[in-house]
Structure 1
Amino acid sequence: MIPGFWLDGASWAPATRDLEAAGHRTLAMTLPGKESPIASRHGIGLRDHIDAVVDVLDSIDAPAVLVGHSGGAAIIQGAADARPESVAKLIYVDAVPLPDGGVVNDELPVVGCSIPLPGWEVFDDADLTDLTDPLRQEFRRMAIPEPALVATDPQSVRNAARFGIPAAVIACEFSAAQIQGWIESGEAFTSELARIEKLSIHELPTGHWPQLTRPAELGQLLADVVGNRG
C-alpha cells in the first residue's frame, strides 16, 4: 500500500484493518525521504520510490496487489512495469497511471528539495470535499514534506506486460461514468487506462483523501476489490 504525497504508511491504518480482517497480509510503506519531517530528501526522485516497491516485490514469494493513492499511482505503475510477473492487481485510489514521460505534479510549490503540504487554497474544492476543519488540522499535523523530484521526474514505463495486469480505479472526485467517458474520448491522461485489458472502476464519492474522510468505506471497498468481489 503506497501513500500519496505528504503521507506515510501509517495513513493507511483504517484500510489495513479491513484488509487484514478479510485474511490478507498488508504492508503499508513509508517511502524514502518520508520517514520523518526532518529526513533528508536531497536527490530522492520518483525512481527511488519505485525501486523501494520493487525491492519489496523481489523479497516476497507470491504476486502482490499494489494499492497507490494519488501520487502513489505513478509508483505502483512503475513497479508493475519493472516486475509485471510479481503483481497480481493494481488499485489506483483517486488517481490514474501516468503516460510515459508524464509527471505527477510540477505545479506544487517547492521549498529547497521538498514540497511541504501547501495551503488549502492550492487545492480544488473537489479535493477538499468532506475534509472538515478537524480533519484538516489532523492532516497538517501528520503531513511529511514530499521529495520535490518525485513530483517532477518524468515517468518511464516501457513494458507492455503491465497492461495485462488487472487494475481497478477507486473514483472519489469523479464518477465512473466520467472516467469511462474520458477513456472513450481519447483524453491523453487516461491513455494508460485505455490499454488495460481488465479494468474496473468503483465509486467512493468524497474528496481526494478518502483514508481521512471515509476510512471505513475505503477499507471495505479495498477488501472487496482485492478479494475479487467488487
Structure 2
Amino acid sequence: MDILLIGGLWLDGSAWDEVAAESRALGHRPVPLTLPGQGDGAPSATLDDQLAAVLAAVDAAAERPVVVGHSAACTLAWLAADARPERIARVVLVGGFPAADGRPYADFFEIRDGAMPFPGWAPFEGPDAADLDEAARRRFASRAIPVPAGVATGVVRLTDERRFGVPVTLVCPEYTPAQARGWIDAGEIPELTRVERLEMVDLDSGHWPMFSRPREFARLLAEVADAA
C-alpha cells in the first residue's frame, strides 16, 4: 500500500529516509513528500500550493493510500481528506491535530523576511525534544527550512463533511491517548469530535519520532496500513 508521508514545519522529504527504508522492508510503498517552499526552492509558496502537491500524490497512488501528517501537517493530511474523501483509505495524525475551518495553518512563531524560521529549541524543551541528543538537535537545526509566510499564515478551508467518514488513526508521541481523549471530549479539537472511526495509539517518543524512533514508527505505520 502507498503511504504518503507529510513532514511538519521546517522538514523536507528527507526527514522520512529511515522510516521509508523500514517501510519498504515491511512491504509497503512509502512516498515522502517535499512540499512547495520546504525544500524545493520556492520561498513564495502558499498553503494552497502545498495542498495541491499532497493531492497530486493522492491522485497518483495506484490504490487508495494512507496519508500520514506529522505535527502541523496533520492539517494538510486532513485537508486532503476533505478534498478527496473517496480516495483516501485512512488518515494518520502524528503529534498534532487538524486546525478548524477558518483558522490559520501554523502561525506559531515569528515571521521574518517572508518566512518562519526554526525558533531554536527553547519552545520545545520537555517531552517534545527529550529524546533528541545534542548531536540530533544540531543536525535538525542545521537542516531546518524556513516555512514561507504564505504557508504558515494560510487560512484553512474545509468544505466537505464526508471527511468525517475517513478513518483516522491518532498517533500520540509526546502525549498519551488519555490526554488526547480528554482534549477531544473537552471540545478543544473540534474536527476530531465528529470523526466516525477514530483510533488512538501510543508511541513512546518525542515530537519527532522519524528521527528518534524510526523503526518503531515505521512498524506502527505498517500495522495501520495493513489494517487499512
Judge same fold: TM > 0.5, yes or no. Answer: yes
> For 1:206 and 1:24, how far apart are their aligned partners in 2?
23
> For 1:13 and 1:21, how far apart are their aligned partners in 2?
13
Is 1:85 aligned with 2:92? Answer: no
1:124 Cα offset (Å): 4.5
> For 1:86 and 1:122, how far apart are their aligned partners in 2?
37
The superposition leaves residues 33-71 of structure 1 with CA deviations (integer Å, 9 ceiling, x where unpaired) of 1225xx2312x2211101111122223342111001011
TM-score, length-normalised on structure 2? 0.92
> For 1:35 and 1:133, how far apart are their aligned partners in 2?
24
> For 2:73 and 2:106, how far apart are their aligned partners in 1?
12
Count of aligned pairs between the two proteins: 224
1:206 Cα offset (Å): 2.2
Query: Is this contact kept in 1: 2:72–2:97, CA < 8 A?
Result: no
1:30 Cα offset (Å): 0.2
Q: Report matched runs for 1:210-221 at 5 Å.
A: 210-221=209-220
Q: Aligned residue for 2:12?
A: 8
Q: Aligned residue for 2:171?
A: 170
1:4 Cα offset (Å): 0.7
TM-score, length-normalised on structure 1? 0.92
Q: Aligned residue for 1:63?
A: 64
Letter in 1 for 2:175: F
Q: Aligned residue for 1:33?
A: 37
Instruction: Give me the identity figure in percent.
Output: 38
Q: Aligned residue for 1:147?
A: 148
Q: Aligned residue for 1:120?
A: 121
> For 1:205 and 1:92, how far apart are their aligned partners in 2?
15
Q: Aligned residue for 1:206?
A: 205
Q: Gaps spanning 5+ residues in structure 2: where?
A: none
Q: Aligned residue for 2:225?
A: 226
Q: Report matched runs for 1:36-55 at 5 Å.
A: 39-42=41-44, 44-55=45-56
Is 1:18 aligned with 2:22? Answer: yes
Q: Gaps spanning 5+ residues in structure 1: where?
A: none
Secondary structure of the corresponding residue to residue 69 of structure 2: strand
> For 1:127 and 1:102, how far apart are their aligned partners in 2?
24
Query: Is this contact kept in 2: 1:94–1:173, CA < 8 A?
Result: yes
> For 1:32 and 1:186, how far apart are their aligned partners in 2?
32
Q: Are residues 54 and 148 of structure 1, via their aligned partners in 2, closer, same or farther at CA, if it must alter by over 3 Å?
A: same
1:27 Cα offset (Å): 0.8
Task: Please identify which structure carries the higher helix content.
Answer: 1
1:199 Cα offset (Å): 0.7
The superposition leaves residues 135-168 of structure 1 with CA deviations (integer Å, 9 ceiling, x where unpaired) of 1011112211111222221210110111111110
Task: Between 89-98 and 18-27, report the one with greater CA deviation.
Answer: 18-27
Q: Aligned residue for 2:76?
A: 75
Secondary structure of the corresponding residue to residue 127 of structure 2: helix
